[in-house]
Structure 1
Amino acid sequence: MQTEKVVNHIVNWLKDYATNAGVNGFVVGVSGGIDSAVTSTLCAKTGLGVLCVEMPIHQAASHVSRAHEHIAQLKERFENVDDTRADLTPVFEEFKTEVFMDGEQATIDMALANTRARLRMTTLYYYAGLYGLLVAGTGNKVEDFGVGFYTKYGDGGVDLSPIADLMKSEVYKIGEFLEVPESIMKAAPSDGLFGDARSDEDQIGASYPELEWAMKMDDEGKTINDFSGREQDVFKIYKRYNNNNKHKMIPIPICEIPSELM
C-alpha cells in the first residue's frame, strides 16, 4: 500500500464530498480506538471543521484515557478541530427503566450493547444537524463487509465511510503514518459496548489478521474443507459471522408490488 498516496486520496475525497454537499465539515465519535483515531485525523487534514465527540456509557477507564489523549493531540495539531463530551450513562440507565428485561441474560446484554451504539448515533446526528456536519463512519473493510461487526443503525448509521475500503492492518499502517498516539496503536481493538475492557477478539474468537486471511480465502472461493486445525476454526468463525450479519451488508429488502396488482 502506498500509504501517503492513500491518505491524500481519502483526504481529497472527504473534502470534495463535503464541499459538494455544502456542509461545514465532519463529526466523529472518538472512542480511544484506532479506527476513530485514524478517521478523525483524516477528517482534520481536510482543513474543514471537525467535531470530535466523546460519548462514554460506563466506559472502561483505558478507553476514556486514550480518547482524551487523542483529542488533545489532534487539537494541538489542527486548528480546525473542536471537541465535546456527552455523558450518555444517565440516558442509558433511564432507558433501561422504561423497557422490560425478559429473556436470557446474554440476549439482554447484546440488545443493551446495541442500544449504546444507537444512542451514540443519535448524539452524533444531533450535532451534525446543529452545526451542518456530516457523520463520518469509522468502520473498516473486515468489520463492515467481512464479519459485520457493527451495530445496524448504530455505528453503522453514518453519512460516509472514509476507511471502509481498508483492512484493519492497513488502518494501522495509516495510523502510524498519521502519528496516532502510541497508546492507541498498541491497544487491543474493542467496541467498548459492554462497559469493560473486553477486546473484539474476545468477542469474535479470532484476531483481525486471522479474519483478514479468512476474508481473502472466502473471496477466492475456498471452502471449510480446504483447511484444517486453527485455519479451519477461523474460517468457520468468519463464515458464521458473515452469514449471520448479511442483513447489515445488503440494502433494506423492499416488497415490490407486481404491476398487475397496481
Structure 2
Amino acid sequence: MKVEKVTNHIVNWLKEYAEGAKVDGFVVGVSGGIDSAVTSTLCAMTGLKTLCVEMPIHQHADHVSRAQEHIIQLGKRFGNVQAVHSDLTPVFDTFVRQMPNITTDPQVELTLGNTRARLRMTTLYYHAGVNGLLVAGTGNKVEDFGVGFYTKYGDGGVDLSPIADLMKSEVYAVGQHVEVPESIMQAAPSDGLYGAERTDEDQIGASYDELEWAMSQNDLGKSADDFSGREKEVYKIFKSFNNRNQHKMNPIPVCEIPSDLR
C-alpha cells in the first residue's frame, strides 16, 4: 500500500465531503485504540474543526490514559482540534437500574455492552448537532465488512467512514505514518465495552492478521474444507461471524408492497 498517498486521499476525501455537506468539521469518539486514533488524526489533517470526545463508561484505566495521551498530542500538533469529556458512567448506571432481569447471563452482558456503544453514539450525535459537525466512524474493513464486529446503531451509527476500506494492518501502517502515539500502536485491540480488559482477539477467537487472511480466502470462494489445522479453525470463526452478522452489513430489509395490493 502507498501509505502517504492513501493518507492524503482520505484527508482530501474527508475535506471535500464536509465542504460539500456545508458543515464545519468532524466529531470522533476517542477510545484509546488504533482505529479512533487514526480516524481523529486524519480528520485533524483536513484543517477543519475536529472534536475529540472521550466517553468513559466504567472504562479500563489503560484505555483512558491512552485516549488522553492521544488527544493531548493531537491538540499540540493541530490548532483545529478540540476535546470534550462526557462521562457516561452515571447515565449507564441509571439505565441499568431501570431495566428488569439484569443478571450475569452472557446474553445480558452482551446486550449491556451494546447499550454502552449506543449511549456513545447518542452522545456523539449530540455534540455533532450542537456544533455543526459530522460523526466520523472508526470501523475498519475487517470489522465492518468481514466479521461485523461492531454494534448496530452504536459505533455503526455514523455519517461517514474514512477508514472502512482499510484492513487492520493498513490502519496500523497509516497510524505509523501519521504519528499515532506508540502506546496505542502497541496496545492489543479492544472494543472497550466491558469493565475488565478484554481484547478483540479474546472475543472473536482469532487475531486481525488471521481474520484478514480468512477474509481474503473467502473472497476467493474457498471453504473450510480447503484448509486444515489452525487455518481451518480460523476460517470457520470468520465464516461464523460473517454469516450471523449479515444483518449489520446489508441494508435494512424493506417489505415491498405488490402493486396489485395498492
- TM-score band by shorter chain is over 0.9
- Does residue 194 of the first structure (1) align with residue 185 of the second (2)? no
TM-score normalized by structure 2? 0.99
* Deviation at residue 195 of structure 1 after TM alignment: 1.3
Cα distance 1:92–1:164, how it changes in 2: closer, same or farther (>3 A)? same
* Deviation at residue 99 of structure 1 after TM alignment: 1.0
1:129-168 superposed Cα distances (whole Å, 9 cap, x missing partner):
0000000000000000000000000000000000000000
The letter of the residue matching 2:205 is G
- Aligned partners of 2:125, 2:102: CA distance in 1, in Å? 30
1:57-86 superposed Cα distances (whole Å, 9 cap, x missing partner):
000000000000000000000000000000
Name the SS of the counterpart of 1:59 in structure 2: coil
Aligned ranges for residues 102-251 of structure 1 at < 5 Å?
A: 105-251=105-251
- Aligned partners of 1:103, 1:11: CA distance in 2, in Å? 45
- Aligned partners of 1:13, 1:102: CA distance in 2, in Å? 44
* Deviation at residue 103 of structure 1 after TM alignment: 6.9
Partner of 1:94: 94
1:16-65 superposed Cα distances (whole Å, 9 cap, x missing partner):
00000000000000000000000000000000000000000000000000
Aligned ranges for residues 37-56 of structure 1 at < 5 Å?
A: 37-56=37-56
**Alignment size in residue pairs:** 262
CA contact (8 A) 2:57 2:92 kept: yes
Cα distance 1:7–1:58, how it changes in 2: closer, same or farther (>3 A)? same
- Does residue 80 of the first structure (1) align with residue 80 of the second (2)? yes
Name the SS of the counterpart of 1:169 in structure 2: helix
Residue identity (%) = 71
1:174-203 superposed Cα distances (whole Å, 9 cap, x missing partner):
000001000000000000001121100000
Name the SS of the counterpart of 1:134 in structure 2: strand
Unaligned runs of 5+ residues in structure 1 are none
* Deviation at residue 102 of structure 1 after TM alignment: 5.7
* Deviation at residue 92 of structure 1 after TM alignment: 0.2
Name the SS of the counterpart of 1:150 in structure 2: coil
- Does residue 66 of the first structure (1) align with residue 95 of the second (2)? no
The letter of the residue matching 2:198 is R
CA contact (8 A) 2:96 2:102 kept: no
- Aligned partners of 1:70, 1:104: CA distance in 2, in Å? 34
The letter of the residue matching 1:36 is S
- Does residue 256 of the first structure (1) align with residue 256 of the second (2)? yes
TM-score normalized by structure 1? 0.99
Runs of 4+ in 1 over 4 A off after TM superposition: none
Name the SS of the counterpart of 2:93 in structure 1: helix
Two-structure CA RMSD over aligned residues (Å): 0.8
- Aligned partners of 2:111, 2:101: CA distance in 1, in Å? 10
Larger CA deviation: 22-31 vs 103-112: 103-112
Larger CA deviation: 98-107 vs 168-177: 98-107
CA contact (8 A) 2:54 2:84 kept: yes
The letter of the residue matching 1:33 is G
- Aligned partners of 1:4, 1:225: CA distance in 2, in Å? 39
* Deviation at residue 104 of structure 1 after TM alignment: 6.6
- Aligned partners of 1:206, 1:196: CA distance in 2, in Å? 19
The letter of the residue matching 2:129 is G
Name the SS of the counterpart of 1:17 in structure 2: helix
